[in-house]
Structures are given as C-alpha cells and as structure tokens.
C-alpha cells in the first residue's frame, strides 16, 4: 500500500515466509500468501501529520481502549507483529493483569517464564513495557521457527517449541493448549 499525503510518500512491505528456503519481500500485495506486513513508519517530522492515519492502521478502534496499548504498539513496531495479536495473547495469558503469576512461575502480561525473561533481557519483571516486548520478541522467534504458522507458534508459546516438535509439527494434544490456541485466535480476530 502506497500512501501519499502532503507530498510525503510511505510504503508498506509484505513478507512471505511460507517457503523454507527463501524469503520473499515485496512492496505491493501481489499474492495473498504474505506472512506478515511491515508498515513503514512515518519520518519523525511527519508523525503528527499522520497520527490519525497511523492509528487507523493499528487494528480496530477497540484496541485503543485496551489496557497497555502504548506498550503493545511499541512491541508491535519492534517485532512486526500485529498489535491485535499481542493484545489477544495478553488477554488470554493474563487478562491484562501486569502482576499475574501462574502456578508454573510465569508472570506479567505475557506470562513469561523466568528463563524467557532472562533470554530477552527483562531487567524489571514488574515493568509492563519490558514484559510485553519480551513476549512479542519470543512470539516473533516462534513465528520464524514455525515458518509463520500462527497456530503452531501459539501452541509453542503455550506448551513450548519442543512439545510442538515432539508432536511432529502439530498442536500438542494437551487440553490446555487445545483450548489456548482457539481462544487467542478468537481474540485476535475480534481485535483485528
């Protein structure tokens, strides 16, 4: 999508990760197969001019009313993951409670395990910005690992990538994971 306004031009980038041995990157949506879209940000001196337009591109207006939307937008911009997907994960993982703690030791909005937090350099586990960014970085890693397959990536976020691999690249047959993936997908669709 090419946008021109007041002499300013910006272009989106579409990336297809469906092939294991090559990555296709284009600036026009020729095929429906693209895995994710990178919205080109406005240059710093044009942010104010495009503020209303950019907000429209960040998902439904409902997202703007969700808690921690600012943190989600920052993480989305750094990971090229749609804000709606990050919000969906947060909804299912913690119901937007930054102090949520699971029986297994996962904590925060994105329910990070301590090892994941260390790997993504979370210095303050109570900081929602760090928690959301680390969770989004982990999800981006999983999306790359599973060639953009969202359901497998979500299953891996819940059960771990080793469990998905042990099950032959399928969603593990754990009740929690079988419930988790459709819940996240439902909220993702709702927030998109």
Residues tagged active-site: 93
Provide CB contacts within 8 A for 157, sequence distance 6+: 89, 138, 139, 142
Reference 153, options 60, 79, 64; nearest CA is 79
Q: What contacts 65, CB < 8 A, 6 or more positions away?
A: none
Find, among 121, 156, 116, 150, the residue nearest to 107 by Cα. Answer: 116
Residues 10, 187, 141, 79: what is their CA dihedral angle, to the nearest 10 degrees? Answer: 30
């Amino acid at each position: 999508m090419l946008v021109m306004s007041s002499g300013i031009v910006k272009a989106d980038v579409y990336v297809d990760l469906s092939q294991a041995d090559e990555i296709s990157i284009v600036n026009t949506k020729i095929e429906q197969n693209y895995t994710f879209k990178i919205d080109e940000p406005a240059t710093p001196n044009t942010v104010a001019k495009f503020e209303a337009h950019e907000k429209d591109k960040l998902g439904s207006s409902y997202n703007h009313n969700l808690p921690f939307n600012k943190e989600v937008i920052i993480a989305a911009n750094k990971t090229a993951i749609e804000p709606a997907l990050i919000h969906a994960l947060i909804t299912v993982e913690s119901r937007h409670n930054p102090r949520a703690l699971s029986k297994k030791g996962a904590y925060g909005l994105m329910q990070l395990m301590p090892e994941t937090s260390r790997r993504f350099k979370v210095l303050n586990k109570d900081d929602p910005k760090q928690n959301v960014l680390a969770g989004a970085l982990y999800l981006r890693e999983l999306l790359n690992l599973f060639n953009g397959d969202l359901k497998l990536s979500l299953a891996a976020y819940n059960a771990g990538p080793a469990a998905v691999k042990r099950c032959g690249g399928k969603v593990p047959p754990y009740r929690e994971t079988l419930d988790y993936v459709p819940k996240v997908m439902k909220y993702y669709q709702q927030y998109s």
